[in-house]
Structures are given as structure tokens and as C-alpha cells.
Amino acid sequence: MATENRCRQSEVDGWVKADGKRLVNGRGEELILRGVGLGSWLLPEGYMWKMPQQGDRPRRIEAMVSGLLGESGAEAFWRTYFERYTAEEDIRQLALESFNSVRVPFNSRKLLEGPLNEDGYNAFQVGLLDDVVGWCRKWGVYVILDMHGAPGGQTGANIDDCENDQPELFTSAEHRQASIDLWRYLAKRYRDEWIVAGYDLLNEPLPEFHGQYNDRVEPLYRDMIAAIREVDDRHLIVVEGVHWSTDFSVFTEKLDGNVLYQFHKYWNNPDTESIQKYLDFRDEWNVPIFMGEGGENDLDWYAGGFRLFEDHRIGWNFWTWKKMDTLNSPCSVRKPDGWEKLGAWLEGGAKPEPEEAGRILGDYLDGLPLAAVDYRPEVVNALLRRLPVRIPAIHYGYKGEGESFGLGGAERIDWESGYRRGDGLAIRKLDGAPHLPPSEPGWHPWNAGDGLCVELPAGAWTAYEFLVPPAAADVARAEAAAAGAARANAAAAGSAATPDGGAQASDEAAAAADSAGGVGRAAAAMDLDGSIQASGEAAGFGVKLRLKAAAAGAAAELELDGRPIGRLDASGEWSEAELGALPQPEPGLRRLVVKASGGALLLEGIWLG
């Protein structure tokens, strides 16, 4: 209970609602949602399973598992999968990391088939939603329910589990009505749960290649909202634009007085220009906006993109919490030996023998709990800009000239930059060449391999905000690490293979694990990384820059929260220079300013911690 109380986010309090351009909590205070998506849990996604196109969506993955294990084995597999992929330990870890919300993607097909309750919905699947709502209530984490796969499919692509690669939600009256009825049911079930922040009506409806149905989106939203309001007049409604949730042009009127408008952002420039159309929409409509899904990039992009949202007072949700064999999600599920044989079979290769298939899929199930994953605290640190962290120099703050950067009397660049083009600072390649916009028309992804730097003329400066976690959070995460290690050891000592290829802890081991609680190897990895401190004692703090002089005599002068902390000289070659053994900053949001002195300076990266 001590850990639970220490890690509950104070802003998670009461009904979430729209108040002009802001979201507010039950106290009427501005609420910035900072969360993660629980992708591939209730709607397994092929790319997170490292599967080819023949296993790119739930129904195809399910067919694969049934073909390998038989129907009874598949039934046992999926029950274990759903119970392990996301559990209370995951929600507890999210709370420990200071996230205040989760977005829960669900698949309507799974709610509409199999053993049904008296209301006509799958009792087991409904129970999973009940579980996550209960865990979030306990740990103080808001829940956004996300219809990721609507009846018939809302995108006509693999991500909605559609059968025929068509958005049949918009062409079938039966599917349309089923989606409305499902939202009425969920609203009635959770109408008294304030921990449920809102209802995300449709994930990423209608990509451009199915845009002929765009005029059917707003009327469906209208009918869904009407059904929800029949039974629930308090919950926030979340609506998304078309074309992968990037195009708000389908909205012609406010459909309700309590609506959050969601956009998604992947891969392109993490700068203000890239989200300006959403900022303009917020101002024109006087409504809150939300970056409800973004990620699947490298840590440098995260350190820029998610600070971009924070600086513009936009809530955000990272995609995704857990997937297989990854460096860019917090939880990496270890890929079982022989896993590639499953995908090869789907592509026409040899079918694994039953014993081998059972072993491979059983190893996968054993690797799903949080105690078994490889935890990557550096991902969380990048998202939150929390110590220790690297910040690319080009991702200085997004609050505008005078607060996030200054030209120091220098003239604005006379060429159009390919990144942050409105700021007037030169964004360059590491060889000094200008970083120019693409000359070809169309959409261009952010290239994580491009080495970029910012040029600071003498007197110019850039500011970088970062988070120093409170000592209480350090202690709580250390408690979780110690308890989790006990849980992992108990589970390892008591595991026994089951007939379906999975594994389960013995009664004694399970009891010991439940008593210990925690996050096992996940937290232990955090401890080894240095991001957990078992005591509240202050640790040494350092600042390291990667820099290069663009003019003789150039140096970087550093300030922390308005106080000078030192000077680092630059040479004519790229090099790293460090200020070490500095006093540990106080917990909270801190501000580092780097100012060019004595001549123009090229700055590539900043390491803090």
C-alpha cells in the first residue's frame, strides 16, 4: 500500500472533461494526459509478433495457432495469452513510472463471439476490460477505452482485424448498428467509473484509399454519441479524424459538449510546423486536442516529439508498451528459439511438428509477464525527458523565441530549413551542409539515420527542459525492483510445463510471487541501468555535450535554472566535453540553457544524468 500511495499521480482525480481548449480533472485543474497504449493485448498485431502478411492480424494469427495446437490447445493458449500479456503488474509499473493514463485497444469481434453473457457479449473478454479498469482504479491511472477493431472493420486494413480488407463498418447496416450497440453497452457498464477517462469511438477510420466513405464518419459518430448519452452523460467522448487519424476535415460541427479530438503522429518531423493544423483547429473550435498514438521510432525522436506535445499543452499516448524483440518500447518480449519457423510455415514452408510448435508458443507465453521481459528504462526516460537522458540538440524547447531559444542578435538564416523552419536557427548536417526540405513532393518520413546539429551564432542560445524524478518515486521503484526480483525467482523455481506448451507456477511459487509483488527482471534491469536509487540520497549530476567550433574560440556556456554552472570549450572537430560532479538538481522540471560564446558553435547532443 505504501508503494501504491507514493506512485499515484495526484492529477488523477475525478471525472475528465473538456473545458474550452483544456482537459480538466475532477478538481477543475488542467490535465495533461501522459500515457501508453496497451497494443497487441486484446487485438494482437502481426508486426508485434514478427509475422509476415499471412499473420498480420488477429484472425490470421488465431488460425495459425489453431493449426499448430488444435482447437483445445489454441483455446488454452489464448486464455493464457490474454491473462499474461497485460496484468496488474504492468499497470503498477506504469504508475511507478509516473504515467497517468493508458489507452486500451479492444477488438469488437472478440466481444461478439464465443460464450456470451446475458447482454450478448463475451463474458471473458468483458472481464478483461473489467480487470484493467480495476487495476487502474487501484493504481491511479486513467483509462481510455479504444475501439481498435470495429464490427466489420473501420479501416479496411490489417490493424482493424477486418476479414476482406474493406471497411465494412461503413457499408453494412448490421455492422454499423453493432458498433453503436457495443458503445451503449460499454457506457452503461462503466458509467459510474470516473477512472475511465473517456471512450475512443473509432481508431484511425478510413485511410485515404477508402476515402470515398469519409462522409459517413461524422454521422456514425453522432449516432454512437447519442447511444452513449442515453445511459451515460458524464464521460468524455474521444473522436479521431480520417486517414490514420491525421485529417480533421470530416468534422463539420461539435457533436457534444464534452469531446476530445485525437490525432496520431508517426515518423515525420517532430516540430511545431508538423502539428500546426491541429493547433489551429484547437484555436478555431475552442476544443482540446490529444496526440493519442505515436512512437515506433528511435529514442532521439521520442526526446523531441513528446516534449513538443508537452510544450504545446497537448496530452499524449505512446505506442506501445510491450512487443517482441524491440529496442523502442519499454517492454521487450524475448523471441523464442525457432520463432521464425512459424512465419516460414505461413509463407508456405514446412509446418513445425506439434511438440516443437507447442514448445515455441509455450516459450512465448512464458516471456509475456512483466517479470520476464527485458525492460528498457531508457525508452521511458526519453519519453519523459527524465534523468538519465540524451537530448538531441535540435530538439530544444518548442515554446518559441525568448523562452526556448534566442538568436543573440544574429540574423535569421536566409534559407528554408527542413526542420523547425520558422525559428531562424540553422539546422545542419554534421558536415555543416544545410538541412533542406525534400525537393520531391509528397510525404517524407523522418530519417532517424540523419545526423543533425544546430548552429548557434555567438550569443545565441537554446534551452532544454528535463525531469528530475522525486526521491519518493526512486524509493518506490526500488521497492518494486526488490519485490519483483523475489517474484521472478519464485516463479522460475516453481514453473512447470503444461500440456498446451505454456507454463504455470506451482502453488507455492505463485503464493510467494503474489506476496512479493513487483516487476522482476524488468525492475532489476532498471536498477542496473542506474535509473533506480534505493535511497533518497543525492547522486552526482553531470552534463555532457557533443559539440564543434564553427569559428575559432567558440565555447558553450551553460546555465541550469538561471544559474551559471560552467563553460565547455569546443575544438574544430566533433568531440565530447563534460561537466561532472555537479550538485543533484531538485526534483521536478529543470531547464538547461546552452549559449554560444566567443564564436559560432555547432551542437549535436546533450547527455544529462
Instruction: Give a yes or no: residue 316 inside a domain.
Output: yes
Q: Is 527 helix (H, G, I), strand (E, B) or coil?
A: helix
Residue 287 lies in a domain: yes
- Rounded average pLDDT over 1-21: 83
Within a domain: 462: yes
What are φ and ψ of residue 283, in 5° steps? Answer: -70, -45
The kind and range of the H/E element at 35 are strand 34-37
Same domain, 270 and 322: yes
Find, among 39, 89, 3, 566, the residue nearest to 328 by Cα.
39
pLDDT greater than 80 at residue 510: no
Separation CA 318–CA 300 (nearest Å): 14
Confidence of residue 440 (pLDDT cuts 50, 70, 90): confident
- Under a CB-based contact definition with an 8 Å cutoff, are residues 291 and 309 in contact? yes
- Which cell is 213 given? 466513405
How high is the pLDDT of residue 443?
78
Residues 429 and 574 in one domain: yes
61 and 37, same structural domain?
yes
> Are residue 299 and residue 333 in the same domain, yes or no?
yes
Report cis status (omega within 30 of 0) of the bond before 498: no
Cell of 68: 499448430
Q: In the chain, what are the helix, strand and coil shares in percent, each to the nearest 5? A: 40, 25, 40
The domain that holds 230 is classified in CATH as: 3.20.20.80
CA 93, CA 4: separation in Å to the nearest integer? 10
Mean pLDDT of 277-297: 98
Cell triple for residue 257?
A: 459538449
432 and 286 fall within a common domain = no
Q: Do residue 273 and residue 400 come from a single domain?
A: no
Q: What is the mean pLDDT of residues 487-507?
A: 41
Using the predicted structure, report yes or no on whether residue 497 has a pLDDT greater than 70: no
Q: Please say whether the beta carbons of 83 and 124 come within 8 A.
A: no
CB 518 within 8 A of CB 89: yes
**Predicted confidence (pLDDT) per residue in 22-54, tens digit:** 999 999 999 999 999 999 999 999 999 999 999
**pLDDT > 90? residue 526:** no
Pairing assessment for the beta strands 289-295 and 495-497 based on DSSP bridges: unpaired
**pLDDT tens, position by position, 139-188:** 999 999 999 999 999 999 999 999 999 999 999 999 999 999 999 999 99
Three-state DSSP string of 387-442: CCEEEEHHHCCCCCECCCEECCCCCCCCCCCCCCCCCCCEEEECCCCECCCCCCCC
Range of the domain at 441: 389-467+540-608
What pLDDT, on a 0 to 100 scale, did the predictor assign at position 501? 36
CA angle 156, 162, 168 (to 5 degrees): 60
pLDDT band at 471 (very low <50, low <70, confident <90, very high): confident
What's the rounded Cα separation, in Å, for the pair 113 and 202?
20
Cα dihedral 425, 427, 430, 434 sign: negative
Q: What does the alpha-carbon distance between residue 86 and residue 103 come to, in Å, rounded to a whole number?
A: 12
Residue 547 — very low, low, confident or very high, per pLDDT cuts 50/70/90? very high
What per-residue confidence (pLDDT) applies to 34? 98
**In this structure, are residues 474 and 489 in contact, taking their beta carbons and an 8 Å threshold?**
no
With beta carbons less than 8 A apart as the criterion, state whether 84 and 72 touch.
Answer: no
Contact 350, 389 (CB under 8 A): no
Q: Which long-range contacts (CB under 8 A, 24 or more apart) does 86-90 make?
A: 86/38, 86/41, 86/132, 86/321, 86/322, 87/135, 87/369, 87/370, 88/131, 88/135, 88/138, 88/139, 89/369, 89/370, 89/371, 89/484, 89/517, 89/518, 89/519, 90/38, 90/321, 90/322, 90/331, 90/370
Instruction: Band the pLDDT of 271: cuts 50, 70, 90.
Output: very high
Among the three residues 317, 351, 384, which one is the final residue of a domain in this structure?
A: 384
Residue 552 lies in a domain: yes
Task: Determine, yes or no, domain membership for 149.
Answer: yes
Give the SS3 label for residue 596.
strand
Percent of the chain, pLDDT > 90?
Answer: 84
Give the mean model confidence (pLDDT) for residues 488-500. 43
Instruction: Render pLDDT for 552-568 as a digit per residue (tens, 0 to 9).
Output: 999 999 999 999 999 99
Mean pLDDT confidence for 468-480: 63
Pairing of strands 331-333, 374-375: antiparallel
**Which pLDDT band holds residue 540 (cuts at 50, 70, 90)?**
confident
6 in a structural domain: no
Which of 366, 384, 402 terminates a domain? The answer is 384
Asked if 578 and 430 sit in the same domain, the reply is yes
**Nearest alpha carbon to residue 294 among 307, 280, 305, 310:** 305
Calpha distance 239→289 (Å, rounded)? 10
Q: Judge whether residue 346 has pLDDT over 60.
A: yes
Q: How many separate domains does the chain show?
A: 2
427 and 305 fall within a common domain: no
Mean of the per-residue pLDDT values of the chain: 90
Rounded CA-CA distance 116/122 in Å is 4
Sign of CA dihedral 302, 303, 308, 309: positive
Q: Is 393 found in the same domain as 363?
A: no
Q: What percent of the chain has pLDDT over 70?
A: 87
CATH of the domain at 601: 2.60.120.260
Same domain, 445 and 334: no
Could you give the CA distance from residue 238 to residue 262 in angstroms, rounded to a whole number? 7
**Whole-number pLDDT of residue 361:** 98
Residues 305 and 340 in one domain: yes
Q: Does a structural domain hold residue 513?
A: no
Q: Which H helix or E strand runs over 337? A: none
Give phi and psi for 532, each to the nearest 5. -110, 135
Q: Which residue has the cell 509446418?
A: 351
Long-range (24+ apart) CB contacts under 8 A made by 27-33 are 30/313, 31/315, 32/310, 32/313, 32/314, 32/315, 33/100, 33/101, 33/142, 33/144, 33/197, 33/290, 33/315, 33/316, 33/317
CA distance 334 to 337: 9
Cell numbers found for residue 460? 545565441
Cell numbers of 151, please? 464490427
Confidence of residue 90 (pLDDT cuts 50, 70, 90): very high
Q: What pLDDT score was predicted for residue 444?
A: 82
Bigger pLDDT: 349 or 533? 349
334 exposed, middle or buried (CB, 10 Å; 0-12, 13-18, 19+)? middle
Considering the domain architecture, whether residues 232 and 346 belong to the same structural domain is answered as yes
* CA 38 – CA 384 distance, rounded (Å): 18
Residue 364 to residue 342: CA distance in whole angstroms = 12
Which candidate, 49, 322, 12, 1, places its Cα nearest to that of 144? 12
Q: Predicted confidence band at 448 (pLDDT cuts at 50, 70, 90)?
A: low
**What does pTM read for this prediction?**
0.90
**Phi, psi (degrees; rounded to nearest 5) at 127:** -60, -35
Task: Please check whether residue 515 lies inside any domain of the structure.
Answer: no
Last residue of a domain, one of 357, 384, 411: 384
Report d(CA 128, CA 145) in Å as an integer: 12
Per-residue model confidence (pLDDT) at position 537: 39
Max Cα separation, the chain? 78
Q: What b/e string do you get for 111-138 counting C-beta neighbours within 10 Å, with b at 16 or more? A: bbeeeeeeeebbebbbebbebbbebbbe
pLDDT tens track for 416-435? 999 999 999 999 999 999 99
